[in-house]
Amino acid sequence: MVHKIRHKLETTSKEACNILIDVLIAHGVRRVVLSPGSRNAPLLVALSRRREVEKYVIVDERSAAFAALGMAGQLSGPVALVCTSGTALLNYAPAVAEAYYQKIPLVVISADRPKEWIDQDDSQTIRQFEALSQFVKKSYDIPARCDDDTARWYVNRIANDAMIEANSGRRAPVHINVQLDEPLARLAEYSNKQRVIEITLPSQSVSGSDMETLLREAEGKNVLVISGFGEKGPDLEYGLNKLASLPNVAVLTETISNLHSPKFIQAIDRTLLAMERGAEDCYKPDLLITVGGAIISRIVKTFLRKYRAACQWYVGIAETTVDCMQTLTRRIQVEPGAFFRQFANSYAEKTSSESDFAGKWLKLYEKGRKRHELYLESIEWSDMRAFSTIIPSLPDNCRVQLSNGTTIRYAQLFGDMLSQDSFCNRGVSGIDGSTSTALGASLAYDGTTVLITGDMSFSYDLSGLASQYNSGRFKIIVMCNGGGGIFRFVKATSDLPELERYFEVKRDIPVDRYATAFGFEYFEACSEDGLRNVLPEFWNSEKASILAVKTDNIVSAETLRNYFKRDK
């Protein structure tokens, strides 16, 4: 939800302070204990101009904190504390420790110097961030500069997250450290509307009253659901399928979400690439629902940050407020399968939308599929041509491990063709350890495990080959395109004169010799016909096997770059 717009008022010029106070008030803070100081002047001014909050001034911070503790112990809501920089914060420690063990939600707000002045012999500067970390549920640090939309979004998200942490789960104090630079006393006119992120508390299901709230929020809205990686299950697939049957709901899934249905849009990038310029508003959701881990598709993130949903839910048990699209309004702390089964059944009963939102997305999906197939017919031998041959040939019973870089991005383009369960280290998206991860997966799965990797990722993790556990169930396909193909594709590096020497580090990786050294059977393909001919033998080999697919790095990068050019 968005907090209602206030009339303009003259207050501190430090916008971060105003945003912070707005969010605290929206989350129910009605009492604040203040201790005077100069560095915290903007915070004191911001609070002094707000009638919604009762202010109590107590000079000694130690006494102030205990007074706040006493108030909060008698109230159901949180009480805030505000102090200046330096040792003032440390005087809060005894009362904050007591609040932690009493499970009382104090909101500790400390003013601080900008971080570049810490340890520079400037007065009243100490290492304040996380100074109370042993006795607060979480610590937050707000930077000094708040002069653009991204900075404002960050402050809003931090403030929302702090209030959710203080009041949900194990209630406890939180610490918000606010860096403030000079001048401190300047006033300005301020008027804003602040997004308030609400929370549906952790449970096995959604309570009746909470479900009614959710149904009201979703009523009459065009809904877009996006699933990233995560643990799939029958309840999740059932719920998403039921939602995808509704005319106002479109469900987008990524390759490694491992959710398959003809009702789902399973190739996000190629679908969005088919969107005509100027038609974006037709596909903009009113309600965005996200589930699972980090989204791979940069295109969908860019689209949803520009064409913003009015509200967004994140479904799943999370320790932090995940707001990748910058539109989050509700955290639903419920196991995704249980939530979607329950919500889909209730929503299907109550909704009577005549929207064609789902139909528009499915038509766009079909347009993207045709565009994709026409493009494949026009290209020469390259990484993309190789993937168009490899993906359909995968054994039915295999599980696929994908390395980071271009490999996972290519797989995304063939999402509806990749029916096998697939996995990738997308938690932090590093190239290290892809081979070892696949090895471990092969030891836990009785069928065939197939690793598709780039030559740079392959050479980075040669230790994954040096195992006594290699078996015929472990197959590796190495895309040999000279190393670092992703750097020819991404804008940040593709045109740099240093590309080949410092980013690609072009090398002819001796995959054949590595295969021999570590006891793998070796196969090789340098053309489409060669790949088609060798794949059956590769799949049928009873040994741990490596297939090197050799392509030209410049042709492959240009082919991928042209694929991602939007239709006019």
Does 212 map to a domain? yes
* Shared-domain flag, residues 388 and 356: no
Residues 384 and 420 in one domain: yes
Choosing from 138, 162, 190, the residue where a domain stops is 190
The string of pLDDT tens digits covering residues 443-472 is 999 999 999 999 989 998 999 999 899 999
Residues 16 and 97 in one domain: yes
What SS3 string covers 516-545? HHCCCEEEEECCHHHHHHHHHHHHHCCCCE
Indicate whether 206 and 184 sit together in one domain.
no
Q: Are residues 522 and 501 in the same domain?
A: yes
- Ordered alpha helix ranges (H), 332-485: 336-350, 357-378, 383-393, 406-413, 434-444, 455-460
Phi then psi for residue 14, to 5 deg, are: -80, 100
HEC string of 53-81? CEEEECCCHHHHHHHHHHHHHHCCCCEEE
CA distance 353 to 41: 52
Range of the domain at 15: 9-190
pLDDT tens-digit series, residues 288-300: 999 999 999 999 9
Quick: pLDDT tens for 235-260: 999 999 999 999 999 999 999 999 99
When pLDDT is averaged across residues 157-172 and rounded to a whole number, the result is 92
pLDDT at position 483, please?
A: 61
Residue 192: per-residue pLDDT: 72
Q: Are residue 254 and residue 123 in the same domain, yes or no?
A: no
Q: How far is CA 402 from the centre of its chain?
A: 19
Residue 273 included in any domain: yes
Per residue in 220-232, pLDDT (tens digit) is 999 999 999 998 8
147 and 59 assigned to the same domain: yes
Question: Is it the case that residue 498 has pLDDT exceeding 60?
Answer: no
For residues 78 and 115, membership in a common domain is answered with: yes
pLDDT of 506 higher than 70: no
Q: Find the CATH number of the domain harbouring 298.
A: 3.40.50.1220
**pLDDT tens by residue, 474-491:** 999 999 987 655 555 555
Residue 448, classed as helix, strand or coil, is: coil
Based on the fold, state whether residues 310 and 249 are members of the same structural domain: yes
- Average pLDDT, rounded, for the chain: 90
Over residues 90-131, the pLDDT tens digits come to 999 999 999 999 999 999 999 999 988 888 877 778 899 999
In this prediction, residues 517-544 reach a mean pLDDT of 97
Q: Is residue 371 part of a domain?
A: no
**Which of 170, 190, 210 delimits the end of a domain?**
190
Q: What pLDDT, in 10s, does the model give residues 200-209? A: 876 667 888 8
Whether 373 maps to a domain, the answer reads no
Residue 3 lies in a domain: no
Confidence check: pLDDT of 503 > 80: no
pLDDT at residue 501 in the model: 44
Tell me the mean pLDDT in the region 352-360: 90
**What percent of the chain clears pLDDT 90, i.e. is strictly above it?**
76
Q: What is the pLDDT of residue 121?
A: 74
Question: Would you state the pLDDT for residue 202?
Answer: 65
> Domain ends where: 151, 167, 190?
190
Same domain, 141 and 256: no
In a domain, 163, yes or no: yes
Number of Cβ within a 10 Å radius of residue 317: 11
Q: Supply the pLDDT for residue 502.
A: 43
Q: Which pTM does this prediction carry?
A: 0.87
How many domains is the chain built from? 3
Q: What is the CATH number of the domain that holds 91?
A: 3.40.50.970
Is 431 part of any domain? yes
In a domain, 150, yes or no: yes
Do 463 and 347 share a structural domain? no
Same domain membership, residue 24 and residue 152 = yes
Rg, Å, the chain Cα set:
27
